[in-house]
């Protein structure tokens, strides 16, 4: 890990991000705008699964409308997140909150992929009344997972590190 951190720190990109005062807040703002797209898409799907919004649209069509935007947001989140790691490798890589966040992100990507496949290939399951209790529980679980990622992301700045910076 130390070798990786010192290698990243020596790259021109890392030094450029550190030397430009506006770089980190700008990259973080782009990251948050992608979070806007991601969380609102998750929110619309969850509301549909809970029977709280968009009931005139099928679950499959709701998935077709929002899941591609989630993959798009994920690409922006990945690239902007990567730049933030390159800019401040120690702040991120050695931070246990960052590590928790990355684990939760992997879980979320799996959830998105499984939901997308199932909603479009298996539309009957999602409209099947006896399954509605299970579907609602899955929806709430997914919402909690995505909120937890956002909280962990914000909390990276507050984990006490061996150097001062939040």
Partner 1 sequence: MDVDSILQKIYDWPISEAIRTDYFWFPFFESIHVIAVTLVVGSIFIVDLRLLGITSNKKPVTELAKEVLPWTWGLFVIGVCAGVLMFISKATNYYNDEYFRYKMLFILLAGLNMAIFHLFTFKTVMHWDRDVPTLTGAKIAGGLSMVFWIIVVFCGRWIGFTVM
DSSP string covering 28-75, please? HHHHHHHHHHHHHHHHHHHHHHHTSS-TTS-HHHHHHHHHHHHHHHHH
| Residue 75 Cα distances to 36, 67, 68, angstroms | 14, 13, 11
147 binds partner 1 (CB under 8 A): yes
- Binding flags for partner 1, 61-100, as an x/- string (CB under 8 A): ----x---x-------------------------------
Instruction: Report the residue from 5, 18, 23, 28 that binds partner 1 according to the rule CB under 8 A.
Output: 28
Instruction: Characterize 10-49 residue by residue with b for buried, 16 or more Cβ atoms within 10 angstroms of its Cβ, and e for exposed.
Output: eeeebeebeeeeeebeebbebbeebbebbbebbebbbbbb
43 binds partner 1 (CB under 8 A): yes
Instruction: Report the residue from 2, 25, 121, 164 that binds partner 1 according to the rule CB under 8 A.
Output: 25
Closest approach, Cβ 124 to partner 1, in A, equals: 22
Closest approach, Cβ 120 to partner 1, in A, equals: 16
**Which positions lie near partner 1, rule CB under 8 A?**
24-26, 28-29, 32-33, 35-41, 43-44, 47, 53-54, 56-57, 65, 69, 147, 150-151, 154-155, 157-158
């Amino acid at each position: 890990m130390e070798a990786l951190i010192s290698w990243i720190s020596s790259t021109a990109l890392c030094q450029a991000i550190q030397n430009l005062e506006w770089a980190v807040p700008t990259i973080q703002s782009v990251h948050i705008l992608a979070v806007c797209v991601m969380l609102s898409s998750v929110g619309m799907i969850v509301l549909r699964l809970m029977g709280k919004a968009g009931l005139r649209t099928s679950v499959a069509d709701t998935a077709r409308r929002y899941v591609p935007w989630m993959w798009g947001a994920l690409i922006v989140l990945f690239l902007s997140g990567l730049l933030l790691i390159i800019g401040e490798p120690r702040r991120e890589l050695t931070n246990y909150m960052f590590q928790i966040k990355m684990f939760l992100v992997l879980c979320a990507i799996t959830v998105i992929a499984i939901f997308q496949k199932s909603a479009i290939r298996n539309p009957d399951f999602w409209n099947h009344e006896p399954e509605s209790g299970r579907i609602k529980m899955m929806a709430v679980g997914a919402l909690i997972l995505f909120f937890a990622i956002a909280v962990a992301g914000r909390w990276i700045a507050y984990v006490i590190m061996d150097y001062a910076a939040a």
